[in-house]
Chain A
Amino acid sequence: DGGITQSPKYLFRKEGQNVTLSCEQNLNHDAMYWYRQDPGQGLRLIYYSQIVNDFQKGDIAEGYSVSREKKESFPLTVTSAQKNPTAFYLCASNQLGGFANTGELFFGEGSRLTVL
């Protein structure tokens, strides 16, 4: 089935360790996104990519890094520089349509990171 796969679903790490969250899509979408979700805060954009080998910072990029070496893959690394990394991370993709049609986002099931 077509969709977005995130792994792992749950991750525990010690403070100061880098962690990488995987996101793979087989929808043939050009654009991919990483959002962070905290209780009562909605979804905040971390990074996004509209084409292979190119990506842009979102609203809360500090302490995170990404790569886009393949169209299907957009991994997110939460570095030790991220001051409060415990959160629910959501990967999404879409096909951009321009002015009147931003293109619906398809989300993965998310990765819940807990830093001890």
Chain B
Amino acid sequence: GQQVMQIPQYQHVQEGEDFTTYCNSSTTLSNIQWYKQRPGGHPVFLIQLVKSGEVKKQKRLTFQFGEAKKNSSLHITATQTTDVGTYFCAGPNSGYSTLTFGKGTMLLVSP
């Protein structure tokens, strides 16, 4: 079945450093979604990318969808302690009825 892999599994940065998490799918995706889960919380939708090569920005967060629509990345510029949490990517299954999540990248930011 479809697999969605994320790296790294965990990253610890100093506040002000940049952070990037990468997502790779075993199949071509029609779209990809990103979620953030704060410690002790629930996942919250960040963004959906649809077009090949698409780049979207949300303040310090930059999301990219690969040309082949099999990979994606999330880059955070100048991390802040509020960025702490686990970031998940998710892609739809072949029937577009469910999402398969990656295992997530846990980000820890030290002040």
Determine whether the beta carbon of B45 is less than 8 Å from that of A40.
no
Interface SS majority for chain A = loop
Residues of B within 8 A of A48 (CB): 97-98
| Distance of A59 Cα from B43 Cα, bound (Å) | 19
Residues of A within 8 A of B31 (CB): 100-102
1/0 per residue, CB under 8 A from A, across B40-76: the answer is: 0111110010100000000000000000000000000
Determine whether the beta carbon of A42 is less than 8 Å from that of B104.
yes
Size range of the interface on B?
A: 20 to 34
**Residue from A33, A45, A56, A110 within 8 A of B42 (CB atoms):** A110
1/0 per residue, CB under 8 A from A, across B81-111: the answer is: 0000000101010001111111110000000
**Residue from B44, B96, B103 within 8 A of A42 (CB atoms):** B103
The total of Cβ contacts below 8 Å across the A-B interface reads 62
Determine whether the beta carbon of B102 is less than 8 Å from that of A33.
no
Determine whether the beta carbon of B50 is less than 8 Å from that of A100.
yes
* B9 part of interface (Cβ distance < 8 Å): yes
Residues of B within 8 A of A23 (CB): none
Count residues of chain A with CB under 8 A from any CB of chain B.
28
* B25 part of interface (Cβ distance < 8 Å): no
* B27 part of interface (Cβ distance < 8 Å): no
Residues of B within 8 A of A109 (CB): 41-42
Residues of A within 8 A of B97 (CB): 31, 48, 50, 56, 96
Give 18 pairs: A residue, B residue, CB < 8 Å, sorted on A: A31-B97, A42-B102, A42-B104, A43-B90, A50-B97, A90-B43, A99-B30, A100-B31, A101-B48, A102-B30, A102-B31, A102-B33, A102-B48, A105-B33, A105-B99, A107-B44, A108-B42, A110-B42
Question: What residues make up the interface of B, taking CB atoms closer than 8 Å to A?
Answer: 1, 9, 30-31, 33, 35, 41-45, 48, 50, 88, 90, 92, 96-104
